[in-house]
Chains A and B, each alone.
Chain A
Amino acid sequence: MTNRTILVDYLTRVEGESALDLRISDGRVTSARLNVFEPPRFFEALLRGRGYAETPDIVARICGICPIAYQMSAVHAIENAFGVTVEGQLRALRRLIYCGEWIESHALHVVMLHAPDYLGFPDAIQMAREHGDLVRSALALKKTGNELMRVLGGREIHPVNVKAGGFYRPPTRAELAPVAENLARARETAVRLVRWVATFPFPQFERDYEFVALRHPGEYPFNEGRLVSNRGIDIDISDYETHFEERHVAHSTALHSSIKQRGAYLVGPLARYALNFDRLPESVQGLAREAGLGPVCRNPFQSIIVRSLELVYACEEALRLIGAYEPPAIAAVPVVPRAGTGFGCTEAPRGICWHRYQFDATGTISSVRIVPPTSQNQPSIEADLAAAATSVLDQPDEVIRHHCEQTIRNYDPCISCSTHFLKLSVHRT
């Protein structure tokens, strides 16, 4: 009987601290675990007793890469609890700042973290020696996303301008004009990226995921919609806990999300794309076809194409929103706290980010639950790992190891986000 154990002590090119533990016995994968040893920071505990007004600033700190996702889910939940609706240009500005986050986050992942896997480089710095023009253009694309965050939010990381009801100060048209110029160039770069990544060598690998994403009557989803899946889920976001659960499983202290009585599901670009292909403009659909994708993509290694398509979409949507922008009459809809529970769910770059807050009459938080995208994907990541490792079992350990690392990076996992993650046992070679 031959036993092989493949360990990766510290996964690179992912945000946060995690490790891989793969066990193979008699030519069969017996266990595939993504162990996460990111220390917990207890956001759901430290938010108790805090005021609604400071909540967007605090939850931003869950993740430096997708602070807008946390701020957006939080403000929607607060407004839901207090019976406030934000519409018109304030709503449009929220979509616009979310475009900025998708652009900076997706560009970072596609070019700096993920593309090197397909071309055999250890990082984008080495990759730049052969693909300098593309890496530099992609950095400019990423910078444009950050510029959008900075103009609308004050800064790229932990923006200061988002509040319940709207913004502290909406941008002027003059502030947005130079961003639009850069966005037009950024869109061209994103199109080049789609065509470039479509030429990468992709393993023949598909899994039959249950995709879960928001779906909105008229838009590719950022902030609003119903929660839907390709196997019949179609619910209001407030019903999330009726259909989904998190379990504190024995082999890891990561809380694993699953659909009750059904199991693993997938959130993020592949899910959004599969469930909302018809909401993409013809320009993006055409690019998808050109890149060889149908309206559903079940190969997680091709998520890099879908992310690139979403980059094109985010640039186009941002340009459309800026073109139609009229400064709103008020910076924010007045918000008056009242006792109650509110729900928020928005599409972070990595998938749905679900929040529930309970407030007292003064708007002080009494309980919170936050479900980040990466913890929802953890069971799918582990299932992918087992399947991906099985497909290369006859290869040397080093090949299996690299293939597994790439499998994890397909998810752009954001470990820092996942307040629920913690490693139980540390295996060190």
Chain B
Amino acid sequence: MSERRRPRLAVWKFASCDGCQLSLLDCEDEFLTLADAVQIANFPEATSTVEDGPYDLSLVEGSITTAHDAERIRKVRRQSKHLVTIGACATAGGIQALRNFADVNDFIAAVYASPQYIRTLATSSPISAHVPVDFELHGCPINKAQLIEVISAFLAGRKPAIAAHSVCIDCKRNGTVCVMVQGTPCLGPVTHAGCGAICPSYRRGCYGCYGPMEGPNTAALAREWRALGAAPRDLQRAFRSFYAAAEAFSAESEAHDE
């Protein structure tokens, strides 16, 4: 009668597109196995069974953009033994962090007829700006194989095996011809690996949706882009997208203010 105690998994959503938690449902081959290995205690997108904490592992999607959410993430942290952020929004603020470079009141007025109804913070910030985070999984969206690895690692009590090198290494491994040497500007040399170097395999430059790698030399890459004909505006846009608020990219984007 006593069922073995299964680790309790929770999935939380903050400001996001849902894509990273959808990655869990996109694990078509593994999902039912996972649902057997862990107890899905809180995953409202997938199940109406919502159980109270504490949770062994909380996966957090989305960034903090409201005072209410800033309070809610603290509550999630208190109930969670381990807290892992999944994706660019939770890890770096996401595309919605473009407001950090503008006046949020101007943003509100551009979308809503009655701005006084809208309560939002001036910035979109990562989860780590509010509570301690045990591991950050990068990507917009995350790679589902990496997600399974992270869940498995935490359940086994080991460190996730997630490489921190640049996209370039993966292109070499895949045998993909460098797009930059063919004249296409690419953020691969400064971008965190993890996607599998998809864009160059589709003959386009990487657009940095896994954020900065460890110790990126963005200034050197910017010079290469200029040599290929990129204007300052192109560089600013490139560094100011899905990881706009990550320090290395935000600093480089500011270096190209016109």
A-B contact count (CB 8 A): 188
Q: A45-B110, A155-B195, A168-B202 are in contact. Are A108 and B25 (CB under 8 A)?
A: yes
The residue in chain A whose Cβ has the minimal distance to the Cβ of B196 is A155
A155 to B108, CA, bound (A): 32
Which residues B1-51 have CB closer than 8 A to chain A?
13-20, 22-23, 25-26, 28-29, 31-32, 35, 40, 44-50
Q: Please report the total number of B residues contacting A with Cβ < 8 Å.
A: 62
The distance from the CB of B225 to the nearest CB of chain A, in whole angstroms, is 15
Q: Does B235 contact A (CB under 8 A)?
A: no
Q: Does A160 contact B (CB under 8 A)?
A: yes
Task: Provide the residues of chain A in CB contact with B198, threshold 8 Å.
Answer: 154-155, 160
The distance from the CB of A115 to the nearest CB of chain B, in whole angstroms, is 13
Which residues A71-89 have CB closer than 8 A to chain B?
none
Q: Does B52 contact A (CB under 8 A)?
A: no
Which residues B112-137 have CB closer than 8 A to chain A?
112-114, 117-118, 120, 124
Task: Provide the residues of chain A in CB contact with B45, threshold 8 Å.
Answer: 12-15
Complex contact A46–B95 (CB within 8 A): yes
Q: Does A317 contact B (CB under 8 A)?
A: no
Task: Provide the residues of chain B in CB contact with A158, threshold 8 Å.
Answer: 19, 140-141, 209
Complex contact B47–A140 (CB within 8 A): no
Task: Provide the residues of chain B in CB contact with A104, threshold 8 Å.
Answer: 26
Complex contact B201–A40 (CB within 8 A): no
Task: Provide the residues of chain B in CB contact with A169, threshold 8 Å.
Answer: 201-204
Which residues A97-150 have CB closer than 8 A to chain B?
104, 108, 112-113, 116, 122-126, 128, 135-136, 139-140, 142-143, 146
Could you mark each residue 363-395 of chain A with 1 if its beta carbon is under 8 Å from any beta carbon of chain B, else 0? Answer: 000000000000000000000000000000000
The residue in chain A whose Cβ has the minimal distance to the Cβ of B207 is A57
Interface residue range, chain A: 35 or more
Task: Provide the residues of chain B in CB contact with A123, threshold 8 Å.
Answer: 40, 46-49
Q: Does A64 contact B (CB under 8 A)?
A: yes
> Which of B26, B40, B65, B99 is close to A146, meaning CB atoms less than 8 Å apart?
B26
Task: Provide the residues of chain B in CB contact with A416, threshold 8 Å.
Answer: 16-18
Complex contact B111–A136 (CB within 8 A): no
> Which of A37, A45, A51, A167 is close to B237, meaning CB atoms less than 8 Å apart?
A51
A163 to B48, CA, bound (A): 38
Complex contact A39–B98 (CB within 8 A): no
Which residues A404-427 have CB closer than 8 A to chain B?
405, 414, 416, 419-420, 422, 424, 426
On A, residues with C-beta under 8 Å from B are: 10-17, 37-42, 44-46, 48, 50-51, 54, 57-58, 61-65, 67, 104, 108, 112-113, 116, 122-126, 128, 135-136, 139-140, 142-143, 146, 154-158, 160-161, 163, 167-169, 247-248, 253, 255, 331, 405, 414, 416, 419-420, 422, 424, 426
